[in-house]
Chain A
Amino acid sequence: DQQVKQNSPSLSVQEGRISILNCDYTNSMFDYFLWYKKYPAEGPTFLISISSIKDKNEDGRFTVFLNKSAKHLSLHIVPSQPGDSAVYFCAASPILTGGGNKLTFGTGTQLKVEL
């Protein structure tokens, strides 16, 4: 039972353009959402997060949008850079409802930013 889904296993974008990575979730108890970036043979690196009381959070080139009614979030990267090429994982936790910081991850989207 995949509670966090990333339906696009890969995405290719030209340098300078916008990258949009999507994530859907099914568990209504999730109230805190995070995006992690992962290079091969390394651990995930935190990028940006959003709690369910917000619908947008921005940090530099990265913006996360949350649509609670649709149980959907997206990560926008603009402008995309070659160094952004990595696997991006969406993760969710029920932290605000006392479920702890246990994260449920999606299966990841491989982003490739081309010159």
Chain B
Amino acid sequence: NAGVMQNPRHLVRRRGQEARLRCSPMKGHSHVYWYRQLPEEGLKFMVYLQKENIIDESGMPKERFSAEFPKEGPSILRIQQVVRGDSAAYFCASSPDVELTEAFFGQGTRLTVV
């Protein structure tokens, strides 16, 4: 019974490159959430997706960031032209539905921009 799987665990990118973070939700879960944790801060909501739909992207920066959750395959958080300020831990969570269920988190991807 695999949990939420994120890969890679660590990602190093040079400024200006693209970062692609992957998240496979738990089996049977159709809701995916992405959160970002900057150093010394709590987790901040970025985006909420269901299969092929973005439900709430109110926490996503307006530029360079995008997310998708295709019908087949993992959810992808994509950061174009990365800058040093994008260095953070990015966590994915999934839940089976929105009815009073806790979200289960993956182990995160630690992005370092050099």
Chain A: residues with CB nearer than 8 A to chain B? 4, 6, 32, 34, 36, 41-46, 49, 51, 89, 91, 95-96, 100-108
Q: Which of B14-22, B41-49, B78-86 contacts A (4 or more CB under 8 A)?
A: B41-49
Partner of B106, one of A6, A43, A96: A43
Chain B interface extent, by class: 20 to 34
Report whether B98 and A44 are in contact in the complex, using a CB–CB cutoff of 8 Å: no
Residues of B at under 8 Å CB distance from A? 4, 6, 31, 33, 35, 41-45, 48, 55-56, 91, 93, 95, 98-108, 110
A-B contact count (CB 8 A): 66
Chain B residues in 8 Å Cβ range of A96: 100
Nearest B residue to A91, CB-CB: B43
Bound CA span A66–B107, Å = 29
